[in-house]
């Protein structure tokens, strides 16, 4: 260890104030190498300069204190481990920000009255054609998925646990009320929230009947307003949009492996073959108060949407999904062909698909 420095000299060398250094000590982030028992003077080792600067940068980043301690502890042993921890932290910040950004965009559209404008007759009214198909697959005894498509609602749910089939069906049935209710203008957000509340109540009802079993369901659903699709999503079922020839996955899987991919701890290829790839971090289930993500999708004539359970996305390559969705003349043909592809790949899980085509309404 080099010669110890006074707090003043250390502050100048680290370009931090003595006040900041005292604070870092109080917070347990950077203790002086020596505190004189008589005078209370703090002395620092030159080797601590690196850590002092690191603490300052991490605080500037907004990292919570406990996490700064973790990064510093890792940094003392292994720079790469500290880098990985920092990368993981930042991925988490970005994921949280993305979820908030979606909700903010939804609210902006909502408050700007886009929705009520959309309810008025437009120059180019749109309509959807749709089809849904759910298949037990080749390995499972029962089908715990539910798929539905109607004039207003598209939905896929993938239940798990002993009551999984009832949970999935209950969640989708709860949303089906949206088919009948009609949409009061300016009220889309509340309508959706109520529908999600009914779905959650339905799943809880199933869970309460079998308290010793974890029961729940994913839910990916879109409500058609006439020019927009409001998306509700929780779990690892997916929604895709085909627009201008490109296929976009517009939902984010709420799975453990997707979190690890987001954090840079796992590659997408490793995630695809991970033994625990279906482990969910969020679902509609008993005792969990996770809120589904909400989003508004502006529809255009020519858009095609696919909602599917992981029984499709886990076994059929995305370029095959893309080709089928793009080339099928009718939604019914698309869902049949997608399920057939999953079965050709062994269909180890239940497979559900909903396809919708957005078209100009007939005059
Ligand atoms: Mn599944």
Over the stretch 320-335, which tens digit does the pLDDT of each residue have? 999 999 999 999 999 9
Residues of the chain with CATH 3.60.40.10: 124-360
Rounded Cα distance, 147 and 331, in Å: 14
Residue of 278 and 57 predicted with greater confidence: 57
Kindly list the distances between the CA atom of residue 355 and the CA atoms of 242, 309, 310, 328, in Å, as whole numbers in the listed order.
Answer: 11, 12, 15, 10
pLDDT at 33 over 60: yes
Closest CA to 307 of 261, 363, 361, 239: 239
User: Residue 1's pLDDT is what?
Assistant: 60
CA 343 to ligand 1 center in whole angstroms: 14
pLDDT at 306 over 60: yes
Non-local CB neighbours of 144 within 8 Å, separated by 6+ positions: 158, 159, 160, 164, 165, 168, 350
CA 213 to ligand 1 center in whole angstroms: 18
Domain 5-89: which topology?
Multidrug-efflux Transporter Regulator; Chain: A; Domain 2 (1.10.1660)
pLDDT band at 184 (very low <50, low <70, confident <90, very high): low
Count other Cβ atoms within 10 Å, centred on residue 19. Answer: 10
Residue of 312 and 265 predicted with greater confidence: 312
CA 183 to ligand 1 center in whole angstroms: 31
* Top CATH class, 124-360: alpha beta
- Among residues of the chain, what percentage have pLDDT more than 90? 49
CA 276 to ligand 1 center in whole angstroms: 13
pLDDT band at 275 (very low <50, low <70, confident <90, very high): confident
CA 218 to ligand 1 center in whole angstroms: 9
What is the pLDDT averaged over residues 276-283? 85
* The pair of three-digit structure tokens given for residue 14, joined into one six-digit string: 């680290």
CA 182 to ligand 1 center in whole angstroms: 31
User: Residue 146's pLDDT is what?
Assistant: 98
pLDDT at 182 over 80: no
User: Residue 178's pLDDT is what?
Assistant: 86
User: Residue 114's pLDDT is what?
Assistant: 60
pLDDT band at 355 (very low <50, low <70, confident <90, very high): very high
What is the pLDDT averaged over residues 52-69? 89
CA 311 to ligand 1 center in whole angstroms: 5
Which chain residues have CB less than 5 Å from ligand 1, an ion?
158, 309-311, 349
CA 61 to ligand 1 center in whole angstroms: 39
Kindly list the distances between the CA atom of residue 343 and the CA atoms of 141, 244, 280, 312, 350, in Å, as whole numbers in the listed order.
Answer: 15, 29, 24, 9, 10
Beta bridge partners of 298: 228
What is the pLDDT averaged over residues 192-208? 89
What is the pLDDT averaged over residues 186-201? 83
Contact 330, 179 (CB under 8 A): no
Residues of the chain with CATH 1.10.1660.10: 5-89
Q: 117 burial class (0-12, 13-18, 19+ CB within 10 angstroms)?
A: exposed
């Amino acid at each position: 260890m080099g010669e110890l420095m006074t707090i003043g000299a250390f502050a100048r060398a680290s370009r931090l104030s003595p006040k900041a250094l005292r604070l870092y000590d109080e917070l347990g982030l950077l203790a002086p190498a020596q505190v004189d028992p008589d005078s209370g003077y703090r002395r620092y080792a030159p080797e601590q300069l690196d850590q002092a600067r690191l603490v300052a940068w991490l605080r500037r980043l907004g990292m919570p204190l406990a996490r700064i301690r973790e990064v510093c502890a890792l940094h003392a042993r292994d720079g790469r481990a500290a880098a990985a921890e920092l990368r993981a932290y930042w991925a988490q910040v970005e994921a949280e920000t993305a979820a908030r950004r979606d909700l903010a965009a939804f609210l902006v559209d909502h408050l700007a009255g886009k929705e009520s404008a959309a309810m008025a007759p437009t120059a180019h009214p749109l309509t959807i054609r749709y089809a849904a198909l759910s298949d037990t697959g080749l390995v499972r005894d029962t089908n715990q998925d539910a798929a539905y498509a109607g004039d207003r609602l598209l939905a896929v749910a993938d239940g798990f646990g002993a009551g999984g089939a009832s949970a999935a069906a209950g969640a989708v049935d709860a949303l089906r009320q949206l088919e009948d209710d009609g949409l009061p203008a300016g009220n889309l957000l509340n309508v959706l929230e109520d529908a999600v509340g009914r779905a959650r109540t339905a799943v809880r009802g199933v869970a309460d009947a079998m308290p010793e079993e974890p029961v729940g369901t994913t839910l990916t659903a879109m409500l058609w307003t006439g020019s927009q699709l409001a998306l509700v999503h929780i779990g690892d079922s997916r929604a895709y949009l085909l627009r201008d020839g490109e296929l976009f996955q517009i939902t984010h899987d709420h799975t453990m492996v997707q979190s690890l991919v987001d954090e840079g701890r796992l590659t997408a290829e490793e995630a695809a073959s991970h033994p625990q790839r279906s482990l969910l971090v969020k679902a509609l289930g008993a005792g969990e108060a996770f809120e589904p993500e909400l989003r508004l999708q502006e529809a255009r004539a020519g858009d095609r949407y696919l909602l599917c359970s992981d029984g499709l996305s886990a076994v059929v390559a995305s370029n095959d999904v893309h080709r089928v969705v793009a080339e099928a003349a009718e939604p019914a043909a698309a869902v049949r062909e997608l399920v057939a592809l999953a079965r050709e790949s062994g269909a180890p899980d239940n497979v559900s698909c909903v396809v919708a085509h957005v078209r100009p309404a007939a005059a």
